[in-house]
Amino acid sequence: MKRLIRRVSDSSSFLLMSCDIAEKRRVRWGWIIVALFTGVLFASPSHASDMGVTPVANYFKDGSRHISMLAGYGIGFRMGSKADRESSRELAGVRLVEIIPRIGIGMTDRLGGDAWYGGNVETLYEAVLLHNTAQNGGYGFGLGTTLRYNFISSGQIVPFIDANFGVISLNLDLERQSDGFNFNVGFGAGAHWFVSDNMAVTTEIRWQHISNAKTKLPNDGINVGLFLVGFSYFFADSK
């Protein structure tokens, strides 16, 4: 009986010690999270503007340059008639992990004056590396260009819309879409969320279509909703 009581007591002590350690870890992580948010807050342009830092709008003009690195996840879906959707059921199961590095060059100064739609046009040159995590796996690599319109305001968020065109080589081993040469087109919308003077978190939602214009069959076409997030760096000499 005494041994049983001792074991229960030891177990209770161990549980209390474990709870204490877990609580300390939660507090420690809580302080880390607070520190990170505080760092982002004081690095944001709202505070940078008080220190005389160049406004965000100066990064979006003729000749401005930036680089981006984004990663994303694409979810396949079906389009077209009922018969087309049925025949391309396989392609709706495509799940793409993508990495997209970009270089952006401003093509115009601000257009539209002080209107809400005021902004500038820029061209982006990009590469894409994708991997299908479903079906038979496989990879693809391509190059392309994107035409983008940035909505410029006095705030720290710069929304944009864009459209892209490129070529891509696939090796996905799908039944309803040929491997090899394909076109990679789409359009989307997103935003730069500036967290410092020249660094922004970039997010984007894009419709992506991959097919070969019937240069090779089968060619049902891959359609995905692509969700992207990454970082963009705006060069200081863009000011």
Tokens representing residue 124 in the block: 């982006």
Residue 62 DSSP SS3: coil
Per-residue confidence (pLDDT) for residue 62, from 0 to 100: 96
Q: What is the largest CA-CA distance in the chain?
A: 87
Per-residue confidence (pLDDT) for residue 121, from 0 to 100: 98
Q: Is the pLDDT of residue 31 over 90?
A: no
pTM: 0.75
d(CA 191, CA 195): 13
Per-residue confidence (pLDDT) for residue 70, from 0 to 100: 98
In a domain, 69, yes or no: yes
Amino acid in position 116: W
- Split at pLDDT 50, 70, 90, the class of 236 is confident
Residue whose tokens read 């503007």: 49
Omega before 101 within 30 of 0, i.e. cis: no
Query: Is residue 117 domain-shared with residue 232, that is, in the same domain?
Result: yes
Query: Is residue 100 domain-shared with residue 13, that is, in the same domain?
Result: no
Is 152 in contact with 115 (CB distance < 8 Å)?
Answer: no
Which CATH number goes with the domain that contains 94?
A: 2.40.160.20
Residue whose tokens read 């967290």: 195
Q: Is the pLDDT of residue 25 over 70?
A: no
Domain tally for the chain? 2
Higher pLDDT pick, 50 / 186:
186
Query: Is residue 39 domain-shared with residue 63, that is, in the same domain?
Result: no
pLDDT averaged over every residue in the chain? 83
CA distances from 177 to 25, 164, 182, 189 (A): 50, 21, 10, 27
Query: Is residue 76 domain-shared with residue 150, that is, in the same domain?
Result: yes
In a domain, 217, yes or no: yes
Per-residue confidence (pLDDT) for residue 52, from 0 to 100: 41
Host domain of residue 15? 2-43
CA distances from 75 to 66, 125, 166, 187 (A): 28, 24, 20, 15
Query: Is residue 111 domain-shared with residue 165, that is, in the same domain?
Result: yes
In a domain, 192, yes or no: yes
CA distances from 72 to 13, 18, 222 (A): 47, 38, 16
In a domain, 121, yes or no: yes
Q: Is the pLDDT of residue 213 over 80?
A: yes
Least confident window among 53-62, 75-84, 159-168, 203-212: 75-84
Query: Is residue 87 domain-shared with residue 193, that is, in the same domain?
Result: yes
In a domain, 18, yes or no: yes
Residue 23's DSSP bridge partners are: none
Per-residue confidence (pLDDT) for residue 39, from 0 to 100: 46
Residues 92-135 have pLDDT tens digits of: 999 999 999 999 999 999 999 889 899 999 999 999 999 999 98
Tokens representing residue 109 in the block: 């100064």
